[in-house]
Amino acid sequence: MTDFYRASLLEKEAYILKEKYIKNCKRCGGRGRILTDKYSLENFSFVTFPCRCRRKYIYVLDMLIAGLTEAEALEVLSKDIIDLKVVEVDLATNELIKNKYLYRDYLWPYTHNLDEVCKNGYSFMFIGTNGTGKTFASNYVIHWFLRKCKSAHFIKMRKLMKLVNKSIAGSGQEKINAERMLYEILRVDLLVLDELGRETGNREHISGEIDEILKDRDMSKLSTIVISNRDIDDIESLYEGGKSAIVSAFMRNYKALIFDPDNDFRKANRIENKEWFKK
């Protein structure tokens, strides 16, 4: 299945984006394409090429379909990736591998070898406190997946569990819609699951559903990024008192990275916007 269903839910947003980026573009006059003086005898018309407004519109819309907001999509374009410090955790031995850098040691090799990544289902677990750059890093990876014509989706765990519950206990069209959305997003090339550990509801039920999702994606060799504010021990004890297979699901194809708490990513954003705060 393609992203048709997700895209069909954004018809209003697509119209607004088109008005914003293309219709108001002075460079192309709202056409979305630039006319050249080269004439094509094959098509009996002057050759055109896409205006940058159209490329930006398509990019932002693709990111919206992937579950991000317009602001997050533009942030990836406008902000240079900061080479944040991280610590890798060997999930088999709990050994810490220090003096590592997020972009140089992980994100650059990962995003520039996507064929190999998708072939093997290589995945990440991002661990750290709020504001250390975990979500931006995942958005950056989504950007590269879409750029390489692969599918991706970002969803918070609470929203995912609501979809799961509707697909099980919903009725009528609500149940059908939830099933269609789940079928689609759980089969994308890259799935980003944010805020693991912040779900509400029956822990046994939640644990079982997450177990199944992670196992299915692992067996299908589909890449996943799991983001959590909790450390590994907290995650183990949170789900079924440590009896859950969630942590063991990370063992094979996941690299677990702890983001340095000194990486005050949101503070950097505030510094960039300091002129706005003065007004």
C-alpha distances in angstroms, 107 versus 46, 54, 111, 134, 192? 42, 28, 6, 12, 15
Round to whole Å and give the CA distance between 145 and 255.
18
159 and 272 together in one domain: yes
Answer whether residue 179 shows pLDDT above 70: yes
Tell me the mean pLDDT in the region 164-178: 91
3-state secondary structure of 165: helix
188 domain-assigned = yes
Give the tokens for residue 71: 């602001």
pLDDT for res 241? 55
| 202 CB-side CA count, 13 A | 6
pLDDT for res 278? 46
92 domain-assigned = yes
126 and 256 together in one domain: yes
* Number of compact structural domains in the chain: 2
The reported pTM is: 0.87
54 and 88 together in one domain: no
259 and 157 together in one domain: yes
Query: How far is residue 244 CA from its own chain's centroid?
Result: 25
Give the pLDDT confidence of 248-276 residue by residue, as tens digits: 777 778 999 999 887 766 555 554 554 44
145 and 270 together in one domain: yes
Q: What is the CATH number of the domain that holds 104?
A: 3.40.50.300
Round to whole Å and give the CA distance between 249 and 261.
26
C-alpha distances in angstroms, 248 versus 176, 232, 256? 32, 11, 12
- Are 33 and 49 in contact, with CB atoms under 8 Å apart? yes
Instruction: Identify the domain boundary among 23, 44, 59.
Output: 59
Q: Which residue has the higher pLDDT, 191 or 204?
A: 191
Structural domain range at position 9: 4-59
- DSSP 8-state symbol, 81: P
Phi/psi at 123 (5° precision): -140, 170
Answer whether residue 73 shows pLDDT above 50: yes
pLDDT for res 1? 39
pLDDT for res 207? 83
Tell me the mean pLDDT in the region 146-150: 95
Strand pairing of 254-259 and 85-89?
antiparallel
pLDDT for res 277? 42
87 and 11 together in one domain: no
77 domain-assigned = no
141 and 35 together in one domain: no
Query: How far is residue 95 CA from its own chain's centroid?
Result: 28
230 domain-assigned = yes
Give the tokens for residue 159: 């929203």
Quick one: pLDDT band at residue 201, thresholds 50, 70, 90? confident
227 and 130 together in one domain: yes
